[in-house]
C-alpha cells in the first residue's frame, strides 16, 4: 500500500521548525569535527521539545542486560515489546532527544518500547551498534520492563540510520529463528552508498548527501558501504514480516524509502509506504510542533499495535 500524505501544519510552524534545524546545522558546521562530545550535545538539542508525554514510566534495563530504557505507558501490556533503534549517524542520539518520540510511540501502540542505548562511533565501530540492537531484540523476547517473562510479540522500529539498524536486526533475527512481528522505519537511511537520485537535492535544512556519505567511513572504516549489513536495502528481504515505511518528498534520503518499498513488495513482504509532503528528514522528532509528526507516530503505533 502506498499513501501520499499532505501537510497540515501551518506555514509559520514549518518555518519555525526549519529555522531551528538550520540553526543546528550552523552550530554543527562551526564545531570542531574532532570534538565528538560537542557534536553530540548539539544533536541532543535538535528537537525543540523532547519531553515525554504524561503517564509513561521509564525503567532502566540494568544489570547484565543490553543498555537501554524501557518506556511503558500506564495500562499498556508489558508483554508486547517494541525495540527502538535511534538515528543520528551512528555517532550520537540519546533518550534526551528521543523521549518525546518513543513515549508517543509507546502510547500509540499501547505497548512497551525498549530504547536501545547502543554503543556509538567513532569510539565503537562496526559491528558494535548492530550487535547491540540484535542482542536487545533477542533479549526482549524473554525480558520485559517489569520481569523476566516471555513476550507475546516483539516488534522493531527505528529512524534514519536507526531504521537501517532495525532492518538489519530484523534480517539477522529471522536468520537466527526469532520472530519479528513487524517493523516500522521512519525516514530510513538504508543505503550507505548514498546512490539514490534524491540525494542530489538540497532542500533539507539539516541533512545533506555529504553528511550521509560520511557515516560509512566513521562507523565502518574500510568496509564496503554496499555491504548488506550496512546497506540492508540491497539484502534479500524475503521472509520478513510486515513493514511500514515513512518518508518525505523533501528528504535527501527519500529514495531509500521508495526503493525499499519496491524491493520489499517484490520480495512478497506486506508493505505500507507513507510519503509525506515537504517535511525535513527529522520531522518525527517535532511532534509537539508538527501535526504530521503526531499523525506519523500514530500510524506507526497502529501498525505495531497488538491485535
**For the CA atoms of 141, 237, 261, 250, what is the dihedral angle to 10 degrees?**
80
DSSP 108-155: HHTEEEEEE----TTTS-TTHHHHHHHHHHHHHTT--SSSS---SEEE
Write down the pLDDT at residue 196.
94
- pLDDT value of residue 218: 97
Closest to 192 (Cα-Cα) out of 222, 212, 220: 212
Give strand pairing partners of 27. Answer: none
Q: Is 160 a catalytic residue?
A: yes
**By C-alpha distance, which of 282, 271, 290, 280 is closest to 249?**
280
What average pLDDT does the structure give for the chain?
94
Q: Are 142 and 150 in contact (CB under 8 A)?
A: yes
User: Which residues, including other chains, have CB under 8 Å from residue 7's CB and lie 6 or more apart?
Assistant: 14, 276, 277, 278, 279, 292
The alpha carbon of 52 is separated from its chain's Cα centroid by a whole number of angstroms, namely 17
CA dihedral 90, 186, 49, 20 (to 10 degrees): 80
Which residue out of 20, 130, 143, 281 is catalytically annotated?
281
Q: Are 245 and 182 in contact (CB under 8 A)?
A: no
- pLDDT reading at 191 higher than 70: yes
CA distance 148 to 141: 9
130 is catalytic: no
Q: What is the pLDDT of residues 210-261, one digit of tens each?
A: 999 999 999 999 999 999 999 999 999 999 999 999 999 999 999 999 999 9
Strands 271-276, 2-5: pairing kind: parallel
| Residue that has been written with the C-alpha cell 507516530 in this structure | 297
CATH of domain 2-304: 3.40.50.1820
3-state secondary structure at position 76? coil
Q: Distance from CA of residue 79 to its chain's centroid?
A: 22
Q: What pLDDT, on the 0 to 100 scale, is given for residue 84?
A: 98
Contacts of residue 228, defined as CB under 8 A and 6 or more positions apart, other chains included, come to: 234, 235
pLDDT of residue 148: 83
pLDDT at 305: 87
117, 63 Cβ separation under 8 angstroms? no
Q: How many CB atoms lie within 10 A of CB 297?
A: 25
pLDDT tens figures, 140-181: 999 999 888 899 999 999 999 999 999 999 999 999 999 999
Q: Average pLDDT in the 29-54 region?
A: 97
Asked if 224 is an active-site residue, the reply is: no
What pTM value is reported for the model? 0.96
Q: Which of 140, 160, 168, 248 is catalytic?
A: 160
Spans of all domains in the chain: 2-304
Point out the catalytic residue in the list 251, 255, 256, 274. Answer: 251
Taking the C-alpha atoms of residue 25 and residue 101, their distance in angstroms, rounded to an integer, is 21
Residue 307 above 80 pLDDT?
no
Per-residue model confidence (pLDDT) at position 44? 97
Residue 284: which residues within 8 A CB-CB, separation 6 or more?
101, 159, 186, 187, 246, 293, 296, 297
pLDDT digits (tens, 9 = 90+) for 47-78: 999 999 999 999 999 777 799 999 999 999 99
Amino acid at each position: 500500500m502506498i499513501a501520499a500524505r499532505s501537510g497540515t501544519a501551518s506555514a509559520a510552524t514549518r518555518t519555525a521548525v526549519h529555522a531551528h534545524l538550520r540553526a543546528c546545522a550552523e552550530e554543527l558546521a562551526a564545531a570542531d569535527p574532532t570534538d565528538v562530545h560537542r557534536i553530540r550535545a548539539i544533536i541532543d538539542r535538535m528537537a525543540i521539545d523532547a519531553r515525554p508525554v504524561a503517564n509513561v514510566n521509564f525503567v532502566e534495563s540494568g544489570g547484565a542486560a543490553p543498555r537501554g530504557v524501557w518506556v511503558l505507558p500506564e495500562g499498556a501490556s508489558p508483554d508486547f515489546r517494541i525495540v527502538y533503534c535511534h538515528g543520528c549517524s551512528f555517532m550520537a542520539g540519546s533518550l534526551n532527544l528521543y523521549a518525546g518520540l518513543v513515549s508517543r510511540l509507546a502510547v500509540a501502540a499501547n505497548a512497551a518500547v525498549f530504547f536501545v542505548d547502543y554503543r556509538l562511533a567513532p569510539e565503537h565501530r562496526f559491528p558494535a551498534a548492530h550487535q547491540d540492537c540484535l542482542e536487545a531484540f533477542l533479549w526482549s523476547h524473554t525480558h520485559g520492563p517489569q520481569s523476566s517473562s516471555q513476550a507475546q510479540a516483539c516488534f522493531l522500529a527505528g529512524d534514519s540510520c536507526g531504521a537501517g539498524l532495525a532492518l538489519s536486526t530484523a534480517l539477522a533475527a529471522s536468520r537466527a529463528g526469532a520472530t519479528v512481528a513487524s517493523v516500522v522505519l521512519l525516514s530510513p537511511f538504508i543505503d550507505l552508498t548514498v546512490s539514490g537520485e534524491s540525494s542530489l537535492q538540497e532542500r533539507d535544512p539539516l541533512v545533506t548527501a555529504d553528511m550521509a556519505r560520511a557515516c560509512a567511513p566513521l562507523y565502518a572504516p574500510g568496509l564496503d558501504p554496499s555491504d548488506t549489513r550496512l546497506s540492508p536495502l540491497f539484502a534479500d528481504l524475503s521472509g520478513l514480516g510486515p513493514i511500514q515505511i515513512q518518508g518525505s518528498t523533501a528528504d535527501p534520503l527519500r529514495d531509500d524509502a521508495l526503493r525499499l518499498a519496491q524491493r520489499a513488495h517484490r520480495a512478497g513482504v506486506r508493505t505500507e509506504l507513507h510519503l509525506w509532503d515537504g517535511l525535513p528528514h527529522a520531522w518525527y522528532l517535532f511532534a509537539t510542533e508538527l501535526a504530521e509528526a503526531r499523525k506519523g507516530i500514530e500510524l506507526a503505533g497502529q501498525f505495531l499495535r497488538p491485535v
